[in-house]
Amino acid sequence: MAELGQLKVGVLGGTGPQGRGLALRWAKAGIAVVLGSRAAERAESAAAELREQAGVAHVSGLDNAGCAADADIVLVAVPWEGHRELLESLRDQLVGKIVIDCVNPLGFDKQGPFALAVEEGSAAQQAERVLPESRVTAAFHHVSAVLLADLSVAEVDIDVLVLGDDREATDTVRALADAIPGARGVYGGRLRNAHQVEALTANLIAINRRYKSHAGLRITDV
Ligand SMILES: NC(=O)c1ccc[n+]([C@@H]2O[C@H](COP(=O)([O-])OP(=O)(O)OC[C@H]3O[C@@H](n4cnc5c(N)ncnc54)[C@H](OP(=O)(O)O)[C@@H]3O)[C@@H](O)[C@H]2O)c1
């Protein structure tokens, strides 16, 4: 795998807070980014804002299919509700590429957030099922979009668990986590273990609501 500076990262759903926040930090780190949207004009307008905020030229915007085709590595940052349908529509564009799934299948009721049951086991495993010729990984589930968007937060204090069955792919995704100041990518196991990482987000949201925080995780002794 080439150096990160030579790769272009695509962000499906890059007009939302999570995709934009990660794109902002990667753009600031010198990594080329292409935002994807269901509407190309929304992606281009979000890209223009990020170019301005990051003070860089290497952020562009396309519709999701164009984004998937243009990028070397693709982050999936859409709501769980649209996950399967979007990935099914992009199977051809994503062949052979590293796909990073950060989607948390969560529900919310009077008691707060809770993990939804997923037929395939997890969102990441659904992506793997839908994209058999892609290199699917799972990461960035716990990173706060609020902290990513706020450039006055110089260091994002978090370990990013990176899961997957392809060592080179998880190493590349760990490097993308390391590119965010303060953050560190840590291998978190095979893709079959993604469910509890996605589900743990419900606990973190509950913590954030109680303590008015943007809580993250640190793994000790690594
Ligand atoms: N927000 C966080 O702090 C955070 C943290 C960790 C992980 N995540 C995960 O990251 C994902 C994105 O989070 P977000 O807060 O950025 O979500 P969001 O704002 O609800 O959605 C992101 C973008 O996805 C597109 N979209 C919406 N519905 C869609 C559908 N049915 N099919 C395809 N695209 C659709 C929209 O872009 P267009 O209308 O331009 O297409 C939207 O701007 C979620 O799965 C979430 O679990 C979020």
Residue 203 lies in a domain: yes
* 194 Rama class: left (phi>0) / alpha (psi -120 to 50) / beta: alpha
| Residue 10 per-residue DSSP state | E
Quote the pTM value. 0.98
Residue 217 lies in a domain: no
| Structural domain boundaries, residue 146 | 4-211
Ligand 1 pocket check: which of 15, 18, 80 to mutate, most ligand atoms within 8 Å of Cβ? 18
- Amino acid at position 18, single letter: Q
**What's the number of domains the chain is made of?**
1
- Measured CA to CA in angstroms, residue 188 lies from 38, 98, 147, 220 at distances of 31, 17, 22, 13
Residue 69 lies in a domain: yes
pLDDT of 1 over the 70 cut: no
pLDDT digits (tens, 9 = 90+) for 125-173: 999 999 999 999 999 999 999 999 999 999 999 999 999 999 999 999 9
Q: What is the rounded CA–CA span in Å between residue 11 and residue 18? A: 10
| Ligand 1 atom nearest to CA at 146 | 3
- Amino acid at position 172, single letter: T
CATH number at residue 148: 3.40.50.720
Q: What is the rounded CA–CA span in Å between residue 99 and residue 117? A: 22
Q: Are 177 and 183 in contact (CB under 8 A)?
A: yes
What's the pLDDT at 178?
98
Residue 151 lies in a domain: yes
| Ligand 1 atom nearest to CA at 78 | 24
Residue 222 lies in a domain: no
Residue 61 lies in a domain: yes
CA of 14 to the centre of ligand 1 (A): 8
pLDDT digits (tens, 9 = 90+) for 61-103: 999 999 999 999 999 999 999 999 999 999 999 999 999 999 9
Residue 76 lies in a domain: yes
| Ligand 1 atom nearest to CA at 144 | 3
Residue 219 lies in a domain: no
